[in-house]
Chains A and B, each alone.
Chain A
Amino acid sequence: MKVRERLLLRYLDWRTRRALLDRHLRGQKISPSGNCQTIDRRRVRVGAAQLEVRLFSDPREYIDEMCRFTALAAAQGVQLLVFPEYNSLQLLRLIAGITALTEEMVKGEGVSPVKPADLFRFAGPGFGRVAELTFSFLSRAHGIYIMAGSFPLPAGRQVLNRALLYGPDGRLIGCQDKAHLTPLEDDWGLSRGGSFAVFPTPLGRLAMPVCMDATYFGTFRILESLGAEIVMVPIANPEPYNFWLALRGVWPRVQESQVFGVKSALVGSLFGRTLTGKAGVFAPLELTQRRDGVLAETESAEREGFVAATLDLEALRELKANHPYLRDENPALARKYFPAVYGQASR
């Protein structure tokens, strides 16, 4: 590592030092919500944040922003709150010279072009510390489950897009690495995860594939077969909003695999890219009043927002047990085709 990089890293470490963050978090006036004291599978209250990306020059501003959304959710009785993909991009301004660096990356200029994965490898530990302390504190302080969103984090030589789930006691319940990367992320040098996990909690069986993972039915099929009831999907889509394009992700996966879906979106402009999307809560058609598969969705795809909805996990179980045309199995078909066709795809 060059001297300049070492200095930058030390500076970033200092800007995100634990003592500073702890002190700021302890200064928050939060009363436990009690939202998770009684859990009724017929009334599980979930919320999804739609964050407008803002670059903060101080990690304490980031903490304040997350506090604001969590307080809003807790006040509405939310027991499980979901944050969006890349929920640490707001901290990029902590890196000195980031604007010039990103311009260089976007234009592909510079003598030694830096890939975003290099940037995340460098900044990941500091950003990760901010996220970990913030969401562990907020989940414990409010006494609710928080899926903190996903974060580009270094793991050995790789950089993974990793979603984190915290329990009402503030402990990390588990993490999920994004398995399907977009071409852009591939260019960035990110690595893909290789498996999907379900986290059993008193609230229900939770899962959290990341953004593009919801483009593929296999993700939800596997999660549902592992018992997932609520699948949270953090997104950050760098394209103009279109209803139909947005419909291709979580909504059809919820219908195919009969789970609840909670989508949280990062929106706004960042380094010349515009992120759009609508936070929403989705259910099988039969479990929604208008039979359109949507329990709640934000109005705007460009500005911040928040939605909450109540899920009936027992109604989901009953629907799955009695669905008129879904839930059949054909193991012979799977054995015959899947290894060959997916093997072909991997080549």
Chain B
Amino acid sequence: MRVRTLSFAGSTFTSRQEYLDYLDGCLASREKCDLLVFPALLSLLLAWRFGELGSPGDLAEAVRALVRLPAAWQDDLAETHRALARGLSVHLVPGTSFTVEGDRVFQEACLISPEGEILGSQRQVFLSREERQWELSRGEEVPVFATELGMLGIIVGTDAWYPETGRVLALQGAEVVCHCGALPAGENCWCQLAGMWAQVQQNQFFCVESQLAAVIAGREFAAESLIHAPCEMTAGYTGIVAGGGLSGEPLEAHLDREARLGVIRQYPLLKLLDPAAYSPLGCRGGGGNP
């Protein structure tokens, strides 16, 4: 299975057509891949670049302005990405958007099939302090999607640091997890290892981690995109199949499903769980104070 991410580093598009041209330039001439993952906050980046948000003073104002855009704007963007998936014949996770349901706002990412169908979506289920200030709501579903690539799951934003998300996906059979991330620029190496790297190692799935590299409303996001696998099937046992993306080039890798199954046969981590000891986990979920 060939997987690819795009961080949007160095991109300068300011209109929908320029965005399509940018994607065409980045992706069209490359070897076909099976799964393409974009980073978190992509709809916010696009709306900001296209001048749809006015002149927000900061990221919070930008998010509020995005949420106020007519539903048709989000629908048009979704249609753009469905067409992209069809055109490239690829499973696509087109980053995250903010969706409104009644008086609640969620950050979510969807999975689009190579035929352009939306197979489902994943809402962020744990919120950062800042996201709580933005008055986002938490999703309550963590589905897995049966595809011809295997069982896929999605982890949105800071859910990467909540191991409950990966464990629920893994115990439902997830083989590949797509992570849409957006980390503030800075030294993120250890922080990322504590996130999806740790989730991969304790659940033995693959992860395609796409990190945003762009500025939105004065906030700079920059972190390496990473493609993870269980340590035992990577060179030097690093658990990282490929890393990069900050140059603007797509990051890609080949994932060997059989090799992963071999690792699990050798060391079946999830079969060694002790559910009898987990009853205190039953009703909390997350790392808050008891």
Point out residues on A near B: beta carbons under 8 Å: 179-183, 192-196, 212, 215-219, 221-222, 224-227, 242, 244-245, 247-248, 251-252, 255-258, 285, 291-293, 320, 322-339, 341-346
Contact = CB atoms under 8 A, between A and B. Distances in A.
Nearest to A293: B190
Contacts of A322: 129
Nearest to B285: A334
A293 B238 CA distance: 18
B128 A325 contact: yes
Contacts of A216: 202, 273-274
A179 B290 CA distance: 22
Interface of B: 125-130, 132, 138-142, 158, 161-164, 167-168, 171-172, 187, 190-191, 193-194, 197-198, 201-202, 231, 236-239, 267-278, 280-290
Nearest to A221: B281
B138 A330 contact: yes
Contacts of A331: 283-285
Main secondary structure of the interface of A (DSSP, over half): helix
Contact of B287 (A226, A257, A333): A257
Contacts of B286: 327-330, 333-334
B34 to A, nearest CB: 27
Contact of B282 (A212, A330, A335): A335
Contacts of A183: 267-268, 272
| 8 residue pairs, one from A and one from B, having the closest CB atoms | A334-B285, A252-B198, A341-B171, A329-B288, A255-B194, A217-B163, A325-B128, A329-B286
Nearest to B230: A248
The winner among A193, A293, A330, A344 for most chain B CB atoms within 10 A is A330
The winner among A245, A258, A326, A328 for most chain B CB atoms within 10 A is A328
B277 A195 contact: yes
Contacts of A338: 164, 168, 278, 281-282, 285
Given A181-B272, A247-B193, A339-B282, A255 B198 contact: yes
Contacts of B278: 218, 222, 338, 342
Contact of A343 (B190, B239, B275): B275
Contacts of A325: 128-129, 158, 161
Contact of A180 (B231, B274, B290): B274
Given A179-B277, A342-B171, A333 B285 contact: yes
A97 B187 CA distance: 56
A194 B277 contact: yes
Contacts of B281: 218, 221-222, 334, 338, 342
A327 B277 contact: no
A343 B287 CA distance: 22
Contact of B231 (A221, A222, A245, A255): A245
